[in-house]
Structure 1
């Protein structure tokens, strides 16, 4: 891969993975619009490893607490500290895991096209705006009820459809259920850790089975650039979220969807 392709794709993955604008849509669209050769499965794995390492580093302190408290809660059979939040992350991951197992190949084959992306970009962008407008924003992630957790988990499963945005749909569901913007974003980011692990694991298995040649320098560069851009993006997003809200991303999604309809209809 040319270095410019590596840099732009990795930066794009890092910047869009945690924003409510769909990283998968952008990674599909950039090579398509620029007439580049597909980046390949190995590169997809590498940039996902980069974004995963970024979010783990960002939540490094809380993740240690979540793991320890969850382990103690299993041993003592009662909630301890942040164990309830750890259980919430695990339970909310189940729907997307099941959906990915049964429908991922069909979705990849049937729905990976610009008009689907344009539609989902606009529809779920409008829902994000409405949730940000109507949401009561009174609770944090520690106050989620079990039904709330299941609803957010089921919403996350919709993100298998290109253009939906995993972070966007989970933040939308969180805001509709009364979470603050910060809480909806934090819970969405925590949910990304097992999801990226599952997706990356699946792609890694596919990569091993394919037994294709590997350019390790390309993969390392992609992982590094995506990690740096993802971490900086999360830091800036969390600092600015309460000031700007979700509407800049809603407007961006509407413009992007409109441009895609104009180009491909």
Structure 2
């Protein structure tokens, strides 16, 4: 990998992991529009680590409280403080984990096409637009019921389809359930933590069974750049989402989806 490839792929991963525009779609499309070779599993792991580090650092205080209260809830066998939100994040991850194991072959092969990505970008983009128009600026993430968590968790499983966007579909579901834009975004970002950890774990297992050569310098640079891009993305997205809404991202999704369908269908 040359320096330009490392920079672009790391920044693309860092930004699109948390924006509602699909990181998997962009990482699939970069090689389609360039003559770059596949970046390899080790680089995928590195940029995911960067994104994980960014979200862990940004929500470090909330995560410390959630972890402490979650442990206390296990001891007392009842909900304590922020333990409810911690349980919501864990339980909301189960559907995508099960779906990922069941649909691994389809996700890695049949669905990785520009046409599927284009259709997903447009279809789920319109759904995001509707949910953003419908939202009432009301509830926060602490008001989620277990039914709400189950709905958002099942919606997250749809993100296995390239072009859907994990953050986009979870925000869409949360907005439909009456959460504010900020609350929907925060819960979506918290939900990303176990999902990214699971993705890294699967990639590491696959890497251990391969003979891929590891370029440590490229991996370190990719991790740092992806982490910085992801942190800035989270910070500014949460700062401006109340004013800008989801519509700019919807427009981007529709335009990109139409370009892909025009070029590849």
CA drift at 1:136: 2.3
Partner residue, 1:6: 6
Does residue 171 of structure 2 align to residue 168 of structure 1?
no
Q: What RMSD, in angstroms, separates the aligned Cα atoms of the two structures?
A: 0.7
Matches within 5 A, 1:25-174: 25-174=25-174
In the TM superposition, residue 137 of structure 1 has moved relative to its aligned partner by: 2.8
Pairing 1:16–2:16 present: yes
User: What is the distance in 2 between the residues matched to 1:5 and 1:65?
Assistant: 39
What secondary structure, in the 3-state scheme, does the structure 1 residue paired with 2:93 have? helix
Residue 125 of structure 1: how far off its partner (Å): 0.3
Match of 2:218 in 1: 218
Cα deviation 1:79-136 (Å, max 9, x = unaligned) = 1110000000000000001011111222211100000000000000000000000122
Aligned pair count reads 265
Q: CA deviation at 1:176?
A: 0.3
- Once the two structures are TM-superposed, the CA of residue 252 in structure 1 deviates from its matched residue by 0.4
Secondary structure at the aligned position of 1:211 is classed as coil
**Counterpart check, 1:230 vs 2:240:** no
TM-score by length of 1: 0.99
Partner-residue secondary structure (3-state), 2:163 = coil
Runs of 4 or more, structure 1, over 2 Å off, are none
CA deviation profile, 1:180-217 (whole Å, cap 9, x unmatched): 00000000000000000000110011001113211111
Mean Cα displacement is larger for which, 104-113 or 244-253? 104-113
The alignment partner of 1:105 has SS state of helix
TM-score for the superposition, normalised by structure 2: 0.99
SS at match of 1:111: coil
